[in-house]
Amino acid sequence: MSYFRITLVRSAIGLPRRSTGVLMALGLKKRMQTVFYPVTPDVAGQIMKVKELVSVREVEKPLSKLEVHLERKPDPGYYVEKRAEDVLKEMRQA
C-alpha cells in the first residue's frame, strides 16, 4: 500500500477559511509539518484544494515522527576520529 507524504510548505495566513479548514482536516498546523495518509480519492481531492501550499510525494510506508525528524537533521559538520583523552595517553606513552 502506498501513502501520500504531505508537507506544508507555505503558510495559510490570509487565505479563505475553506483553505485553512482543509489544512486542519489534513492535520497540518505549522509550516514544514509532515503527515502521511493512504492514497485514496478523498485525500487526493483535499490535496488538490491546497496544492499551492503543500508538497506531496508518494512513499511506500509512513515514517514515524522521530524518523522524519532524523531525516531533516543536518550533518554535524565535523567528525571526531579520536577522543582527546586517547591522544593525550598516546603522547604520554611515547
Q: What percent of the chain has a predicted confidence (pLDDT) above 70? A: 97
pLDDT tens digits, one per residue of 74-85: 887 777 776 777
pLDDT-derived band at 32 (thresholds 50, 70, 90) equals: very high
Full set of structural domains in the chain with CATH: 3-93 (3.30.1390.20)
89/52: higher pLDDT: 52
In this predicted model, what pLDDT tens digit does every residue of 43-69 receive, in sequence order?
A: 999 999 999 999 999 999 999 999 999
Supply the pLDDT for residue 45. 96
Number of neighbours of residue 85 by Cβ within 10 angstroms: 8
Specify the length of the chain in residues: 94
Whether 34 contacts 65, CB under 8 Å:
no
Q: Which residue has the cell 485514496?
A: 40
pLDDT interval class at 72 (50, 70, 90): confident
